[in-house]
Amino acid sequence: MNDQISLFDDDNSSGISELQKEYRELVKTLNYHCDRYYNEDAPEISDYEYDMLNQRLKAIEREHPELISEDSPSRRVGWKAEKGILVKHNVPMLSLQDVFEREEVDSFVDEVRAEYGDVEFLVETKIDGLSMALRYENGDLKLAVTRGDGITEGEDVTMNAKVIKDVVKKMPHPIEYIEIRGEVYMTREAFRIVNEEAEEEGKPVFANPRNCAAGTLRQQDTRITKHRDLSLFIFNVQESRGRTFTKHSEGYEFLRENGVKTIELYYTCRTKEEVWDAIQKIGEARGSLAYDIDGAVVKINDLGVREKMGNTIKFPRWAIAYKYPPEEKETKLLSVEVATGRTGRVTPVAVFETISLCGTKVSRATLHNQDFIDEMELGIGDTIIVYKSGEIIPKIKGVNKAKRPSDWVPYRMPDVCPSCGAKLVRNGSEADLKCVNLACPGTIVNSIANFLSRDCMNCKGFGIEYIRKLVDAGYIKDVSDIYTLKDKRDALIEEKILGLERNTDKILAAIEESRLTSGPDRVLAGLGIPGIGKASSKELIRCFKSIDVIAGLSVEELMTAGDIGQITAESIRGFFDDESNKALLERLKRYGLCFEAEGSAVEGSSLEGLIFCITGTLPGMGRDEATELIEKNGGKVTSSVSKKTNYLLAGEGAGSKAAKAATLGVPVITLDDLNNMIAESGQ
């Protein structure tokens, strides 16, 4: 890092120019990733990669303070909260100064001891989660707030905090007032369960436990928060009235007396050797913990010394966070296993000679897709570099090409499904290969769940557990078998597959109702063709009236429908060319599903060609109903406001979308306005 900085001399104008470009690009890149991390809970790079970029930014700013810009992430503590109800911070929720080398740790300890004498330090785990403060009055929990921007305000998450098992709602030994700060996190086991459920339901999986915990704490539905089983460790007393603490450890003792779960792994130290030894011990324990940590915190125990040292605008001066370097080892790639998941995604997994990382034995790691494999230039027999960067999931960093075998060939994924042999497809710009055979054993449960979902056949009460039981018992082999279940009623009741008689009859009736009331657009959406969802299936039926007609169209003809590009058209063509899919469609027709639109009801209407976005709470109508009303009358609904949006349909609590509409000049209308638009055209 220092070598890089020395390349830029103050009297080297071209160097400074290049440095300015690098600096501006770093600011832009880091701000983008901050937004993905804090507001979207969907980071695109690892913490280690972010830290390295941030270290480079700080190095430039130290050497060239004249370059520091107002939008630099170094000038910000957190990230402004944009969701939910905002709450003012009583005590700033500052971040910690990150360090990466032993010399930096030693320097911190030496400077403190030189100024304040024989100071006691605590070294404790740095939990990889989401920071939250809890305020209690006379022992009763009154408010829970996220970090937000760290200085001014955060989000009120009180209702969600109250369903977290580790949050004490009433302290048995209360004081007048206390605010405590901790880290909301998710154990690896809880995270595994959440991702398994998401995959079964065909929903996106979370990247890691931290992202999942952050997204869950912001949920509007507390039932989801409770179901996802969040956890909490408290690591600081922010403020108190009615009791004075002189040491940080005294605060921990008081909290534990009140049933509050505090950081469980910490060491009391005095010398820099003891501090470093404690950091090493925590690092060695990472693999045995049930949760992720991303470092060790070194903090002064004496609160009086803390007060004297004070804070910078961003960090407390009395604490640092040591970030562990990613542990990595070389091993030999033995094979690649390819499996089809419930969503149809085909995933390659590297199988390598077992190694130990962060205290655990690992022998497998995902290879993601063919693009990743090509980027790694990977082949069987290669010596690969595997690492963990504060995460439980092992990752492949690269290949040691110097150890490459003489008979090396690059690895290529198969072009057919490993479960059923069907041709795999790649949709548009997506990197993943998918199996679209609705009868594929690897995808059958999720295919049926999609077919019966609200946006498709809308078969109420037919949950994924029932689907799994029916598949396991051999009653269902593909979606067409759903319509043979009525002939097996007695057996289903006897085996209690769908519950007792009453529930079985209820589900069979729901199947029949959905068959009779679902139009061809719902049937088409339910087929699971890559790129074809609720909106595009309606557009196809609007244009061509019939699934049979669509099945016979060329790629060029399919592309005449709105929003159907070449990739999607090729995907449709490939689906209808598959012999197993043809046979399935014939069975669905035989069982009486609707393949053709009635009359001209799907043709133009009062909202033809108009694009709407919906936000806020509409009076007497849900968003799904409003979407259906707009689409029924020829309009389209998108999830975000853009220059292409014709109208923003806004209800109470419209929020940021209304502001963006005003900026772009997009008209904002009410539900009454929408109904008037429809009525004025005689619809």
Distance in angstroms (rounded) separating the CA atoms of residues 217 and 158: 10
Contact residues for 311 (Cβ-Cβ < 8 A; gap 6+):
92, 94, 317
Cα–Cα distances in angstroms (integers) from residue 510 to residues 88, 485, 624, in the given order: 50, 12, 20
Q: At what angle do helices 444-452 and 464-472 cross, to 10 degrees?
A: 140
Query: In which element (H, E) is residue 267 found?
Result: strand 266-269
Distance in angstroms (rounded) separating the CA atoms of residues 436 and 438: 6
The candidate with the shortest Cα–Cα distance to 214, out of 52, 356, 395, 84, is 84
Report CA Rg, the chain.
Answer: 29
Q: 323 catalytic, yes or no?
A: no
Yes or no: say if 332 and 281 are a contact pair by the CB < 8 Å rule.
no
Query: In which element (H, E) is residue 249 found?
Result: helix 248-257
List the end-to-end C-alpha distance of the chain, in Å, as a whole number.
Answer: 68
Yes or no: say if 200 and 445 are a contact pair by the CB < 8 Å rule.
yes
Q: At what angle do helices 188-200 and 209-217 cross, to 10 degrees?
A: 80
Using a 10 angstrom Cβ sphere, with 0-12 exposed, 13-18 middle and 19 or more buried, the burial of residue 300 is buried
Yes or no: say if 112 and 125 are a contact pair by the CB < 8 Å rule.
no
Contact residues for 578 (Cβ-Cβ < 8 A; gap 6+):
422, 423, 436, 437
Q: Catalytic: which of 88, 126, 142, 162?
A: 126
- Residue 615 backbone phi and psi in degrees, to 5: -145, 155
Identify the DSSP state of 487: G
Distance in angstroms (rounded) separating the CA atoms of residues 277 and 193: 35
Tally the C-alpha atoms within 13 A of residue 649's C-alpha that lie toward its C-beta. 29
Distance in angstroms (rounded) separating the CA atoms of residues 84 and 650: 17
The amino acid occupying position 653 is: G
The candidate with the shortest Cα–Cα distance to 183, out of 220, 236, 225, is 236
Distance in angstroms (rounded) separating the CA atoms of residues 569 and 125: 53
Cα–Cα distances in angstroms (integers) from residue 287 to residues 209, 281, 357, 386, 390, in the given order: 15, 11, 8, 15, 10
626-648: burial string, b at 16+ Cβ within 10 Å, e else: bbebbbebbbbbeeebeeebebb
Longest alpha-carbon distance in the chain: 89
- Strands 327-340 and 383-388 turn out to be antiparallel
> Active-site residues: which are they?
126
